[in-house]
Amino acid sequence: MAEVDHLAAERATARFDVEEMKVAWAGSRHAVHVADRMARLVASDPVFRKDNRTMLSRKELFKDTLRKAAHAWKRIVELRLTEEEADLLRQYVDQPGYVDLHWGMFVPAIKGQGTEEQQHKWLPLAYKFQIIGCYAQTELGHGSNVQGLETTATFDPKTDEFVIHSPTLTSSKWWPGGLGKASTHAVVYARLITEGKDYGIHGFIVQLRSLEDHSPLPGVTLGDIGGKFGSGAYNSMDNGVLRFDHVRIPRDQMLMRLSQVTREGKYVHSNVPKQLLYGTMVYVRQSIVADASKALSRAVCIAVRYSAVRKQFGSQDGGPETQVLNYKTQQSRLFPLLASAYAFRFVGDWLNWLYTDVTQKLEAKDFSTLQEAHACTAGLKAVTTSVTADAIEECRKLCGGHGYLNSSGLPELFAVYVPACTYEGDNVVLLLQVARILMKTVSQLASGKQPVGTMAYMGKVQYLMQCKSAVSSAEDWLNPDAIQEAFEARALRMAVNCAQNISQAASQEEGFYERSPDLLEAAVAHIQLIIVTKFIEKVHQEIPGHGVKEQLQALCNVYALYILHKHLGDFLATGCITPRQGALANEQLGKLYAQVRPNAVALVDAFNYTDHYLGSVLGRYDGDVYPALYEEAWKDPLNETVVPEGYHEYLRPLIKQQQLKLSRL
């Protein structure tokens, strides 16, 4: 805890119990406790230092990542950490690396697509790091279009092996994290060919490097794909390139839970939807939603604390300067992001529940919720990552010039975070998947089929297509029913409009293609409805702690009314609300910001982040920003010498030349 708390006055104005808010944010008292312990364990260990990360060369950074991963593993083993604790420890180490893909995709791919026998063979090796794995799906030529992948896995019945081959340059695997330098194995996605027939994409476990000296195995060419956006940031990850020249693997290294190839080469597909092949992506997409709230809350925590410390311009009578957090413009940019962090946290929890529920159903051979899981994970992944990426940049601007310094933590956070809009499915491609499902649902309404899950509201089509909002005062917008109805009507009407326009095209496919920009907006409206609904549901629950429920209620209203204000055009164009009602929503939003203001610092304290995890001199818990900024500057390698390298070659001759010219005048 800080000796001098420059934010003490801010903390004193909070009208709620911060400790209880920590519980609401983390999900349980146990979760707060474990996270706290792991965060402090990492923060107190010098190996996990990261303040110098942006100054390291790529090679140094990669070696530093290997060192941290090895040290983290050592601590996990020494301290006999549980899976939950180990996950948190890795999260607080806060440096992207091969372990993310090993635990996050390689292991889940084997669990989800491997038979029991295969799991029994491979998982213990992976669990003990006797092998290191990655997820090699994307190729140079195709990422979004998984069915367009070109790598082949041709069954050879003579030897009972698959021959893995990269027939073209564009079939080179390109991007897989951990592939470039660290992984010994990969789950490789390739077209399965047997008995002369192409059965499409399947997963195969392929060894890439020797377990003795790490050299590539015969027929395998691989390396890193090169430096990426920003300093430090995602450059700690060895995203890789991989080519196969007729590499042979035993038949039993095809992941055979969903379909098999027999000893004779006969292809057998189990009686399950083929989309289960995409299961690992669904799993990762739901975890990316939880990550979005973490990244967003970090940026918001930095911007809120700094905005409370930073002062600009005085009162008119020459009194003290104003904290920038008191400017209404600062509040109207920052508080919706604070509310979004909470909104994403709660929708992330719900999505995790949905994913667990769907997984249990799948195990019982009930595939009825597969589409719902796909739509929700794809749509929420797309919306939350796009908002978070933009929000981190907004937080940088909210911190003025100092936000542009690496020591603010924001440039690196942005550079690390932005690829989330692309990896695990480009956000536009994923939203078009949601739109496709929305169009399917609308087309089934006429037949009387009742939509379920998050599409259930579409069943109220008769009412929602003609309802008019009853809001007549700013306070009326505090009624969750008013908000819910406006969001449902907007989402449904946008979807129905798209469906009507598509039906006028020559074909469904052509209509979908022509209307895709509108479809994208309809998908966003549907996903925003889900986020608002889940926030409202959360606030309806019993939430202990003085003032906690009231604060969450205020944030929920901020989130909903901010989205309404931002997308006012949608609400007006679909006739869900009138311009006057739109103006009332904005009026209410202003009042809510005033309500959030005295609680803002405490609301970010409730994220319970250590200074180490935040990695920002601007976001320090104690608010003692200026000495820290000043001190950080001197750590830059440029300041190691008073006179810079290059002075004698380039600066001195230049200055002397000018002096000589002047002396001749």
Ligand X SMILES: Cc1cc2nc3c(=O)[nH]c(=O)nc-3n(C[C@H](O)[C@H](O)[C@H](O)COP(=O)(O)OP(=O)(O)OC[C@H]3O[C@@H](n4cnc5c(N)ncnc54)[C@H](O)[C@@H]3O)c2cc1C
In angstroms, give the least distance from the CB of 492 to ligand X: 24
Catalytic residue among 10, 161, 372, 424: 424
Q: Contacts with ligand L3CPSR6R: how many residues (CB under 6 A)?
A: 26
Please state, in angstroms and rounded to a whole number, the distance separating the CA atoms of residues 586 and 572: 14
CB 244 within 8 A of CB 151: yes
> At residue 240, what is the residue type?
G
* Under rule CB under 6 A, residue 278 binds ligand L3CPSR6R: yes
Q: Among residues 351, 348, 424, 8, which one has the least CA distance to residue 175? A: 424
Tokens, residue 170: 């564009």
Known catalytic membership, residue 550: no
* Under rule CB under 6 A, residue 348 binds ligand X: no
Please state, in angstroms and rounded to a whole number, the distance separating the CA atoms of residues 251 and 160: 6
Q: Among residues 122, 196, 190, which one has the least CA distance to residue 156? A: 196
Please state, in angstroms and rounded to a whole number, the distance separating the CA atoms of residues 17 and 606: 9
Please state, in angstroms and rounded to a whole number, the distance separating the CA atoms of residues 164 and 218: 12
Please state, in angstroms and rounded to a whole number, the distance separating the CA atoms of residues 243 and 221: 5
User: 152: which strand partners?
Assistant: 165, 191
Residue (562 or 613) nearer to ligand L3CPSR6R, CB: 613
Within 10 angstroms of residue 643's Cβ, the number of other Cβ atoms is 9
In angstroms, give the least distance from the CB of 268 to ligand L3CPSR6R: 21
Segment near ligand X (CB under 6 A), from 205-213, 415-423, 572-580, 625-633?
415-423
Q: Contacts with ligand X: how many residues (CB under 6 A)?
A: 22
Phi first, then psi: give them for residue 157, nearest 5 degrees: -65, -20
Which of 422, 443, 501, 578 contacts ligand X by CB under 6 A?
A: 422
Q: Among residues 213, 299, 204, 311, which one has the least CA distance to residue 247? A: 204
* Under rule CB under 6 A, residue 426 binds ligand X: yes
In three-state secondary structure terms, 212 is coil
* Under rule CB under 6 A, residue 393 binds ligand L3CPSR6R: no
In angstroms, give the least distance from the CB of 425 to ligand X: 5
> At residue 173, what is the residue type?
K
Segment near ligand X (CB under 6 A), from 9-17, 141-149, 329-337, 344-352?
141-149
Please state, in angstroms and rounded to a whole number, the distance separating the CA atoms of residues 427 and 78: 40
In angstroms, give the least distance from the CB of 263 to ligand X: 30
Residue 13 binds which entry of ligand L3CPSR6R, ligand X, none, CB below 5-8 Å type-dependent: none
Please state, in angstroms and rounded to a whole number, the distance separating the CA atoms of residues 388 and 613: 18
Q: Among residues 488, 486, 500, 493, which one has the least CA distance to residue 465? A: 493
In angstroms, give the least distance from the CB of 601 to ligand X: 33
* Under rule CB under 6 A, residue 96 binds ligand L3CPSR6R: yes
CB 155 within 8 A of CB 162: yes
Which of 65, 138, 557, 616 contacts ligand X by CB under 6 A?
A: 138
How far does Cα 594 stand from its chain's mean position? 30
E strand or H helix at 438: helix 427-445
* Under rule CB under 6 A, residue 511 binds ligand X: no
Residue (147 or 447) nearer to ligand X, CB: 147
Q: Is 159 marked within a binding site?
A: no
* Under rule CB under 6 A, residue 368 binds ligand L3CPSR6R: no
Which of 54, 118, 119, 138 contacts ligand L3CPSR6R by CB under 6 A?
A: 138
In angstroms, give the least distance from the CB of 429 to ligand L3CPSR6R: 5
Supply the angle between the helices 83-93 and 58-78 in degrees, to the nearest 10.
Answer: 160
Residue 305 binds which entry of ligand L3CPSR6R, ligand X, none, CB below 5-8 Å type-dependent: none
* Under rule CB under 6 A, residue 92 binds ligand L3CPSR6R: no
List the x/- string, 408-447, binding to ligand L3CPSR6R by CB under 6 A. ----xx--x------xxx---x---x---x----------
| Start-to-end Cα distance in the chain | 64
Which of 82, 144, 312, 639 contacts ligand X by CB under 6 A?
A: 144
Residue 428 binds which entry of ligand X, ligand L3CPSR6R, none, CB below 5-8 Å type-dependent: ligand X
Q: Is 138 marked within a binding site?
A: yes
In angstroms, give the least distance from the CB of 176 to ligand X: 4
List the x/- string, 150-179, binding to ligand X by CB under 6 A. -------------------------xxx--
Which of 143, 232, 511, 623 contacts ligand X by CB under 6 A?
A: 143
Tokens, residue 582: 């739109």
Alpha-helical (H) ranges within 203-320 are: 279-309
- According to CB under 6 A, which residues from 235 to 254 bind ligand X? 239
* DSSP per-residue letters across 580-627: HHHHHHHHHHHHHHHHHGGGHHHHHHTT---HHHHT-STT-TT--HHH
E strand or H helix at 119: helix 116-127
Residue (203 or 425) nearer to ligand L3CPSR6R, CB: 425
In angstroms, give the least distance from the CB of 552 to ligand L3CPSR6R: 26
For 232-343, strand residue ranges (E) read 240-244, 247-250, 259-261, 267-269, 311-314, 321-323
Q: Among residues 13, 20, 16, 26, which one has the least CA distance to residue 554? A: 16
Which of 35, 61, 101, 558 contacts ligand X by CB under 6 A?
A: 101
Which of 65, 95, 118, 137 contacts ligand X by CB under 6 A?
A: 137
Q: Active-site residues: which are they?
A: 424
List interacting residues with ligand X (CB under 6 A): 101, 135-138, 142-144, 175-177, 234, 239, 419, 422-426, 428-429, 432
Annotated binding site for FAD: 138, 177
List interacting residues with ligand L3CPSR6R (CB under 6 A): 94, 96, 100, 135, 137-138, 144-147, 177, 275, 278, 281-282, 370, 374, 412-413, 416, 423-425, 429, 433, 437
